[in-house]
Amino acid sequence: MDNNDLSFHGKVLYTGIEKCPPVCGRDSLHVIEILYNDPAFGDLILYSNQCDYCGYRRVDIHYLNSRGGLSG
Ligand SMILES: [Zn+2]
């Protein structure tokens, strides 16, 4: 489908199951990487990790465009 809806402009780059290193070490960590194109911040990647086994959760955001002039 080539339907670009403005209400959902994220693109899933990667999903997979990985080892949960910080807590339980089991292969139950769901990893999702989503590419967003934000009109204000530009391209950014959202990394979401969640472990089914121990409940560990972590979200990281990486900004690809570092041209922001928020701080002058
Ligand atoms: Zn875990």
Q: Where are the domains of the chain?
A: 10-63
Q: How confident is the model at residue 6 (pLDDT cuts 50, 70, 90)?
A: very low
Expressed in angstroms and rounded, the spacing between residue 30 Cα and the centre of ligand 1 is 10
pLDDT tens digit sequence for 40-64:
888 999 999 999 999 999 999 999 8
- In whole angstroms, give the CA distance from residue 50 to residue 17: 10
CA of 59 to the centre of ligand 1 (A): 14
What sign does the dihedral 38-41-43-45 (CA atoms) show? Answer: negative
State whether CATH 2.60.120 applies to domain 10-63. Answer: no
- Pull the structure tokens for residue 66: 């570092």
13 CA distance to ligand 1 middle (Å) = 22
Residue range 11-41, pLDDT digits in tens:
999 999 999 987 899 999 999 999 998 888 8
Q: What is the 34 CA–ligand 1 centroid distance (Å)?
A: 21
**Beta strand residue intervals within the chain, DSSP E:** 10-18, 29-38, 42-51, 57-63
Which two three-digit tokens encode residue 30?
């769901």
Rounded distance, CA 30 to CA 71, Å? Answer: 35
Residue 5, pLDDT above cutoff 60:
no
Tokens at residue 44, please? 């950014």
Residue 70 pLDDT > 80 = no
